[in-house]
Amino acid sequence: MNTSDPVRRRRRHHTSEFKQGLVALCQPGVSVSSVALAQGINTNLLRHWISQYRNELPASVSSNYSKLVAVQVDPAPATTDIFLHG
């Protein structure tokens, strides 16, 4: 092995469009691992992009995610009067 010429790995740089495209593919029910594997990237890196770009998705994509809304329910009245006329 020749140690005078070490092999340096270069970091890959991905465009924000590429990252957002992969984030958009990660819909509920889709395996993040399968998307990452298909694109040849690390699953944890894709998860990082998901948390980074989650709020920047277009409305058409982000509207597909379930949203929970807090509601307040007023209690039913303690007594109910029923009048029957006959």
Evaluate if pTM is beyond 0.95: no
User: Tokens at residue 48, please?
Assistant: 């990082």
| Tens of each residue's pLDDT in the chain, 86 residues | 566 667 888 888 899 999 989 998 988 888 999 999 999 999 999 999 999 887 776 555 544 455 556 777 777 666 667 777 76
The string of DSSP codes covering 42-78 is -HHHHHHHHHHHGGGS-HHHHTTS--------PPPPS
In total, the chain counts a number of residues equal to: 86
- Please answer whether residues 49 and 25 qualify as being in contact, where contact means their C-beta atoms are separated by less than 8 angstroms: no
Domain ranges of the chain: 16-62
